[in-house]
Amino acid sequence: MERSLGHRTASRVLGYAAVLLSVLAVVLSYSGRAVLRSQAFADRATAALRDPAVQSDVADHVADAVVRANADLVSVRPLIRTVAGAVVGTPAFAAVFHRAVLEAHRAVVTQRRPAALVNVADTAVLIQGVLKLLAPSSAATVAAERAVNVFTFRPPTAIGDAVRVARALYTAAWIFALAAALLAVTALWVSSDRAVTGRRLGVGLALGGLAVVALYVVGGAIVQQTAPAGRGAAAAAIWRALAGGLRTQALWLAGAGAVVAGAASALTLAATSRAEGGSLRGLADRLVARLSSGVGRSVVAVSLGVAILLEPGPALTVGAVAGGLVLLAAGAAGVLARVVRATPPASRTVRDAERRARERVVRARAGGSPALRRGLPPAVAVIALTGAVAIVASGSGAETPAATPVTCNGYAALCGRTLDDVAFAATHNSFASVTIPTFLFGQQDGTIADQLRFGIRGFLIDTYYGFPTADRVRTDTTSLPKRNVAIEQLGAPAVQAAESIRSRLGATPNGPRGVYLCHGFCELGAVTFSSALDDLRTFLVENPGEVVLIINQDEGVKPVDISRAFEQAGLGDMIYRGQLGPFPTLGAMVQSGQRLVVMAENDAGEIPWYHLAYAEALQVTPFRFTTTAALTDPEQLANSCKPNRGLSSAPLFLLNNWVDTTPVPRPSNAQIVNGYAALLRRAETCERIRDRLPNLVAVDFYRQGDVLGVVRTLNGIAAR
């Protein structure tokens, strides 16, 4: 008897320790994933923006930050607050906010800076866009490049120690989990009644999970009540976003415990008659009694009563979860007990004999040996525990997806494709718009901003140094090609026109040298590089699911000046900084925020993200076609696809598709060669010959024909 009592005591102690360590393992592993991991933390913080209360609170911070940055805006703060309220609910702001929180978290946890700014500088771009429609004069005072710090978090000096402790506890979670498994197995091994011990372990896990759920629910109520006046709802929403995954993990643990308790109970109930409590109702009563055993019932009753009176919502939520666990355990036990019910003790009555005969028929119909059926409850318990452990360990069910766009370049199907497996509509000499009055010999129907809105995602540009004059730009001759080369590229009339304009401009510039988008001569037309990049940044901020490529024909412009221009435009964080192969998927690029691929034709210098186009990234078709037939006649298409610049192993393929009528481009030619049937036929022909998908389909006069339709077809996407 002493030995049996000692075994029971040891089994109980080991079981309680196993349950305690299991609960700690769940809590600590979740905390490590959700709090220490920057990406998970940013995902949860951004998910909180879906709550209207959080949106309102963030909008207040944004409006205050904008007004602090420019005191002249105080008179229109209500308007700015209204605009901010509309902006913070958009996917564009969610993407900006996600990146800002990610950087701030890394600064505190990884880099251990003394302070972290949740800087949403790009929010000014979004606010400015709306204000232009509602209040143009106010919009002019909100500079796009102005930094907006939603709030500044200054962690205590002990933050480094706290992070180290948290990391240690995260590691300890896995040790606790392993120890819990060993203790549970040992408890079953030394137990004199393993069914009872298994039920005790299951009930313990269910209660442990329920306790974590209760802490989550009560914690939310406390956070809401202790928050500053007017911010309780927002604080509660943030609590739910950050800690809601822990509730999910605890429910998995509690549910698995309930199934284990039910499975263990089934082995006991199978040997009893229905009159002895084998029914579902009898099992529920028995489990309720088991859950309350060993606890001062009066104290529990008083505590629950006070909790319900003070906080009926949280108390009832916990009660509902507890009731669900009881029903889950009761249901599992009832079903399993029915399957494995053993033959009752022998009876001398004819009625008992008849009942036993009927039960033998039922068992025969059920199939399988008695031993196999009795092994079913332990198998179910093991499966439930294994599934819960796998889910908790992997974080499945508890991770919050980032509030990022569900489409990439307009289509969800493209998010799973790598960059080199997607076709993009592109333009040749993208800056040369016929809508710019001072641009001679324009080749496009609209500006770069217009093209972005239209759907163009690839841009072939030329950069030159130039000096501003009264109404035009004078080309810096140090970057001007030789005259005979210019004549070959532009034609003698264009060169003569540029030289005539240049002679009238005089030698004295009106300002310092800058970088311009020009073609051959800035005297024929020029766009400041900075303004084009500002338009690009505005578009990328407002459209967080878009990926864009730029090929820069750099005519003497130093890489350091190109890099500086991108940084000053606020595009530095958006530039793709990975390798040229294997490429990430568009979805991964969108998620990381690095969605702008930049290439140089001549000199990339030491800029790590500035890739040499034709020496590394691109292989291309010829680009000198003087007749439409060269691009449309089936017998000439093969010749139009032959290799030109670039390595045959280059990962990206550029299809040049325009007719050169230097110096005056003709939209009528573009209408023919950009037509859907003609352009698609050539693209598919070149794809077959070169064994490469045309990643960039570059055209003149992008509104002519149907370049977007062709790109959709190449991507295997039906027209909308």
Contact of 595 with 504, CB cutoff 8 Å: no
Q: pLDDT tens digit string along 205-228?
A: 888 888 888 888 888 888 888 888
Q: What pLDDT band is residue 277 in, cutting at 50, 70 and 90?
A: very low
The dihedrals phi and psi of 515, each to the nearest 5 degrees, come to: -100, 130
Could you tell me which of 36, 150, 50 has the C-alpha nearest to residue 100? Answer: 150
Structure tokens at 183: 């203790």
- Looking at residue 486, its pLDDT comes to 62
The candidate with the shortest Cα–Cα distance to 259, out of 342, 329, 195, 306, is: 329
Q: CA 462 from chain center: how many Å?
A: 34
pLDDT for 26-62, tens place per residue?
Answer: 888 887 777 677 777 788 888 888 888 888 888 887 7
Helices 123-134 and 91-105, interaxial angle, to 10°?
150
Better-scored residue on pLDDT, 185 or 637: 637
CA pair distance 487, 481, nearest whole angstrom: 10
CA atoms of 546 and 544, how far apart (whole Å) = 6
Report residue 214 as tokens: 């209760």
Instruction: Please determine, for residue 318, whether its predicted confidence score (pLDDT) is greater than 70.
Output: yes
Is the separation of the CB atoms in 260 and 201 below 8 Å? yes
Beta strands in 529-639 (DSSP E): 548-554, 596-600, 610-612, 618-620
Cα–Cα dist 202/611, whole Å: 59
Confidence of residue 131 (pLDDT cuts 50, 70, 90): low
Contact 528, 476 (CB under 8 A): no
Query: In the chain, what percentage of residues exceed pLDDT 70?
Result: 71
- Average pLDDT for residues 602-614, to the nearest whole number? 94
Place of tokens 């001007």: 480
Q: Which of 339, 279, 245, 329 is nearest to 32 (CA)?
A: 245
Write the pLDDT tens digit of every residue in 544-588: 899 999 999 999 899 999 999 999 998 998 999 998 878 999 999
d(CA 472, CA 478): 18
pLDDT score of 57: 85
Tens of pLDDT, residue by residue over 328-348, are: 777 777 777 766 664 444 444
pLDDT higher than 80, residue 490: no
Residues 168 and 36: their CA atoms lie apart, in Å, by 11
Element (H, E) at 390: helix 376-394
* Distance of alpha carbon 23 from alpha carbon 256, whole angstroms: 12
| pLDDT of 600 higher than 90 | yes
Q: Which residue segments constitute the domains of the chain, with CATH numbers given?
A: 25-161 (no CATH), 193-394 (no CATH), 412-469+527-714 (3.20.20.190)
Contacts of 567 (CB under 8 A, 6+ apart): none
Supply the pLDDT for residue 274. 42
Q: What is the pLDDT of residue 144?
A: 39
> Are the C-beta atoms of residues 340 and 380 closer than 8 Å to each other?
no
d(CA 685, CA 703): 23
Contacts 24+ apart (CB under 8 A), 331-334: 331/262, 331/280, 332/258, 332/259, 332/262, 332/263, 332/266, 332/380, 333/261, 333/262, 333/263, 333/265, 333/266, 333/269, 333/283, 333/287, 334/262, 334/266, 334/269, 334/279, 334/280, 334/283
Q: Give percent above pLDDT 90 in the chain.
A: 32
* pLDDT greater than 70 at residue 139: no
Q: Do the beta carbons of residue 123 and residue 87 sit within 8 Å? A: yes
> Per-residue pLDDT averaged across 115-121, rounded?
55
Q: Exposed, middle or buried, 213 (CB in 10 Å: 0-12/13-18/19+)?
A: buried
* Res 145: pLDDT: 41
pLDDT in tens, 398-410: 666 555 557 899 9
Residue 600 tokens, joined = 């140089």
Q: Does residue 302 surpass a pLDDT of 60?
A: no
Look at 162-171, 243-252, 365-374 and tell me which has the smallest mean pLDDT: 365-374
* Tokens matching residue 562: 């190109």
The predicted pLDDT at position 345 comes to: 43
Mapped onto helix, strand or coil, the DSSP state of residue 333 is helix
